[in-house]
């Protein structure tokens, strides 16, 4: 049975798919399905592969991140995509820098796209939000170094909505932070906190 909540989220995702607020952005990448969930993952922005695949975290960073969830929570990629809503700071691929690497979305683009995130937090009222990478984490809290915040749980607020926040480092191969100490141990601690969170009960199979 399709619930009113599901219909609301479906309408939101349809509108998001058609968004063209930013002049230098193209083709929003949205969560594979409109997944009603109490857990929300917030990524940074898609890369070149995601618009082609039509889903977030579709390439190597995704493989690494889904590997963390499989190893620590027993949730594989298919289960994750079916049970956790995937949002992002910016839903469109920002393009490449002249010097190589993906362009970081500018403040106007982040502000434009934050309306979508705000709406998702209003519709879903998640109990747990997992921001992935510095740009995503900074939408909810200020910090200097990942070492200070990874492995910890916070109560965060975004435009009047409160929820638990457990940040993760970006799984991109560009940063070795999560593969060397203390990052490796802090990542394991963060994953244990996520897996043990009550909101994950509806996500985990084991
Ligand atoms: S980045 Fe966000 S606000 Fe800008 S066009 Fe894409 S979906 Fe719309």
How far away, in angstroms, is 97 Cα from ligand 1 center? 18
CATH of 29-202, one of 3.40.50.10860, 3.40.50.700, 3.40.470.10, 3.30.420.10: 3.40.470.10
With cut-offs at 50, 70 and 90, classify the pLDDT of residue 1: low
Question: Residue range 129-139: average pLDDT?
Answer: 97
Q: Going by C-beta distance under 8 Å and a sequence separation of 6 or more, which residues neighbour residue 205?
A: 74, 75, 79
pTM equals: 0.95
Average pLDDT of the chain is 93
Burial class for 181, CB neighbours closer than 10 Å (0-12, 13-18, 19+): exposed
- State if residue 117 touches ligand 1 by the CB under 6 angstroms criterion: no
Number of other CB atoms surrounding residue 38 within 10 Å: 20
- Given a cut of 60, is residue 206 above it in pLDDT? no
- Given a cut of 80, is residue 2 above it in pLDDT? no
Higher pLDDT residue, 159 or 90? 90
- State if residue 30 touches ligand 1 by the CB under 6 angstroms criterion: no
The full set of domain ranges for the chain reads: 29-202
Distance CA 93, CA 161 (A): 27
Question: Residue range 25-37: average pLDDT?
Answer: 83
Closest residue by Cα to residue 85 from 8, 25, 162: 8
- State if residue 123 touches ligand 1 by the CB under 6 angstroms criterion: no
- Given a cut of 90, is residue 98 above it in pLDDT? no
């Amino acid at each position: 049975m399709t619930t009113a909540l599901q219909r609301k989220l479906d309408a939101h995702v349809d509108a998001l798919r058609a968004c063209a607020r930013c002049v230098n952005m193209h083709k929003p990448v949205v969560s594979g399905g409109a997944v009603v969930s109490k857990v929300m993952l917030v990524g940074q922005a898609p890369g070149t592969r995601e618009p082609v695949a039509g889903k977030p975290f579709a390439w190597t960073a995704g493989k690494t991140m889904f590997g963390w969830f499989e190893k620590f929570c027993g949730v594989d990629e298919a289960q994750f995509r079916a049970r956790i809503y995937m949002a992002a700071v910016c839903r469109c691929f920002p393009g490449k820098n002249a010097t190589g690497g993906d362009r970081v979305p500018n403040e106007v683009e982040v502000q434009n796209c934050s309306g979508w995130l705000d709406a998702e937090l209003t519709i879903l009222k998640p109990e747990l939000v997992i921001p992935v990478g510095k740009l995503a984490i900074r939408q909810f809290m200020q910090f200097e170094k990942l070492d200070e915040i990874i492995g910890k749980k916070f109560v965060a607020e975004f435009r009047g909505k409160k929820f638990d926040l457990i940040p993760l480092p970006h799984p991109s191969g560009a940063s070795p932070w999560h593969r060397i100490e203390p990052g490796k141990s802090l990542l394991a601690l963060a994953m244990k906190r996520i897996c043990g969170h009550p909101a994950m009960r509806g996500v985990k199979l084991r």
